[in-house]
Amino acid sequence: MKNNEEIRIFNSDFSKYKDIIASNDARIVTLKEFDHKDPIRSSIRAVLNLGDFARGPISNLIVIDSNKHELVASILGEKLNYLVCETLEKAEYAIRFLENNNLSRLSFIIAEKISDYYKIVNIGLPLGHFELIKYLSYDPRDEKIIRFICSNAFISGIRVYRNVLVQGGGGIIS
C-alpha cells in the first residue's frame, strides 16, 4: 500500500512539473519571438555580429542582486541597452553600419573616453544610503564602465537619488 501511495504522489508531482516545464517553454518561445521582433534588440544583435567593434549590452555585462532587480532595472532603464566600444572609431563604424542598413539608433559608451574619476569610490554616504553599484556583480575589467553607468546613484530603501533627481513612490513596474 505504501508503495502505491508513493507512486501516486510521484505521478502527481511529475504531472505538475511537466505542466510547469511546458508553461516555461511556451514563455521562452514567446520571449524569443518578442526579442527577434524588437528593432532595438535586432540592431544590438546586428552590431554585435560585426565582430570586435562593440560588446554588451550593459545588461549582459552585469548581474543584478536578485532582491533589487526591479529597482536597479528601473534606475538604469535604457542604459541597459547601451553597447560598449573601446574607441570612438569603433563606435562610428557601428553607427555607419546602423545607418547604412536602416537599423535602429543605439547608444554607445566609448570606454577610452571615461575619466579615471569614475574609479573613485564614494565615501561618507548618509546612514542607510548605498551606491547603486553595490547591487551589481561584473567583471573587474569593466569596473570603470559600470561605475560610469552607476555614477552618483544611491539607493535608500526603494528610493533612488541621482544628481539632481530622486525617484520613488508607488510600486516598481517591471
For residue range 134-150, list pLDDT tens digits in order.
889 999 999 999 999 98
Q: Answer whether 103's CB lies under 8 Å from 95's CB.
A: no
Whether residue 170 is predicted with pLDDT greater than 80 in this model: the reply is no
> Which ranges of the chain does DSSP label H, i.e. alpha helix?
2-37, 39-48, 58-61, 69-76, 88-100, 143-150
Query: Given this model, what pLDDT does residue 119 score?
Result: 55
How is residue 23 written as a grid cell?
Answer: 508553461
- Does this model's pTM top 0.75? My answer is no
Bridge partners (DSSP) of residue 62 are 138
Beta bridge partners of 64: 136
The pLDDT value recorded for residue 26 is 64
Cα–Cα distance for residue pair 30/157, rounded to 1 Å:
34
pLDDT digits (tens, 9 = 90+) for 65-112: 888 888 888 889 899 999 999 999 999 999 999 999 999 899 999 999
